[in-house]
Amino acid sequence: MSKNIHLLGFIQNGVNSHATGMWRHPRDKVNWKFTDPEYWEHMARVMERGLFDGVFIADELAPYNTYQDSSDATVKYAVQCPTHEPSTIVPIITGATEHLGVGVTLSTAFEHPYSMCRRLSSLDHLSGGRVAWNVVSSYSKSEWDAYGQEMAPRGDRYDRLEEYMEVCYKLWDSWEPDAIIADAESGVYADPDKVAVVDHKGEYYQCRGRHFVAPSPQGRPVLWQAGGSPRGRDFAAKHAEAIFAVHPNIERMKEYTSDLDARVVTFDRAPGDVKYFFGVQTVVAETHDEAVAKYERIRSCIPLEGALAWISGHFGLDFSTIDLEDFVQDIEVPGIQGLFESILYAKGGEPVTVREAAQIYAMGMGMPVLVGTPAEIADQLEAYADGGGADGFMLIATYTPGCYEEFVDMVVPELQRRGRYRTQYTGATLRDHLLES
């Protein structure tokens, strides 16, 4: 029996998400402002109406500044700029919904695990157990520059990340289930013998104290990861409950899920313990020709220099110094390896020029772009699920909130008609929803 498909919205708390130039699209945020709570409330209700597992909020801590050694182009073309702090909208989204989860991207690079655990546990309480944490360690030069620090080497960042998670687990697990007594007659609220003092002295972090938040509904937030490099894949296989990846075709998806399945087993976990989500972008209409026209209108909003600024920031290389007709297959980048591979294979292994890479990436980070009728898009999603090993999909935004309204109104009913998508929520927490088969 075919497995059900899971869905999440993929967006940022900013004027523009992952399709560069959408702020200038005539259908983007019509009568809405991303700075207003009402915008997020509406988008959340649309996704809940579509029975999504949740909304995934990506983040970047500072404007990209690798292109021409400046953030001018990032600011000029609104390349994920401005972007506001992601956790601030979690209570707005969960307050407007009953079931929708929220995955929030928070970097470990510049925050101590003690405060990170406190914030995430508090958000899990406020949401009734609907919070996930996308664990990142900051990959771009601009982030480290903004915090006045030299960028740590990739290997060092993962070493730090491993210890960071060790401290987080100790804090989240420090309250025993029956620690809270709340005996009004005796005045005893909690048994200190059942709330452990975490005393951690490691290579990178020290912590001595009790977790300052009582156990939240999920105990720990759902842990999300997007490891692409070999070290990143190991980290994801060890820690993540759900993994987000970007691959341009079924073959690359299958290769990825097979590799992760093998890695998961080495950490004494079963492959089914981890859910695989692949990024896709959809452009849907009643007819194929109409969908193609909508797609071309979206592409026309992309500014080339803004696209170059984005790939420079993500891949850690100033693409203003490279000829636009050079092939990216001949280039080595220090930045996000997994996403760079999505560009390398964007044309099925055929050479991709820098110009093409920038335009492809600026459309949606190299994710497959599904253009067509509801039936055509459902066909492709089923193929990725059955042939590529996907448990679900991150739907990357184009113009908002329209792209989600259209998907919910047109594609979700088609998936339900085929028996590939839930018709109601059955769990109480985000973890419950993710584990639904």
**Successive 10-residue mean pLDDT values, the chain, 437 residues:** 92 94 95 97 98 97 95 96 97 98 97 98 98 92 93 85 97 96 97 98 97 97 91 95 93 95 94 92 98 96 95 91 91 75 80 92 91 98 96 97 98 98 96 91
Q: Which helix (H) or strand (E) holds 9?
A: strand 6-12
Using DSSP, state whether 276 is helix, strand or coil: strand
List strand residue ranges (DSSP E) for 169-225, in order.
Answer: 180-183, 188-190, 198-201, 206-209, 222-225
**Distance between CA atoms of 227 and 235, rounded to whole angstroms?**
7
pLDDT of 283: 98
Q: Please, are residues 144 and 87 in contact by the beta-carbon 8 Å criterion?
A: no
Q: What is the C-alpha separation between 268 and 279, in angstroms, rounded?
A: 27
The residues, ordered by sequence, that sit 6+ positions from 2 with a Cβ below 8 Å of its Cβ are 382, 385, 386, 419, 420
Give the model's pLDDT for residue 125.
98
Partner residues linked to 57 by β-bridges:
11, 104
Bridge partners of 103, per DSSP, are 56, 132
Q: Which residue has the tokens 């313990």?
A: 273
Residues sharing a CB contact under 8 Å with residue 290, sequence separation 6 or more, in sequence order: none
Q: For residues 434 and 71, what is the distance between their CA atoms, to the nearest angstrom?
A: 38
Name the DSSP letter for residue 320: G
The full set of domains in the chain, from first to last, is 6-284+367-435 (3.20.20.30)
Q: Is 59 annotated as a binding residue?
A: yes
Stated length of the chain: 437
Q: How far apart are CA 156 and CA 206, in angstroms?
A: 17
What's this model's pTM, rounded to 2 decimal places?
Answer: 0.95
- Is 205 flagged in the annotation as binding? no
Query: Is there a binding annotation on residue 229?
Result: yes
Q: What confidence score (pLDDT) does residue 331 get?
A: 86
Residue 158 labelled as part of a binding site: yes
pLDDT for residue 337: 67
Q: CA-CA distance, 164 to 363, in Å (whole number)?
A: 34
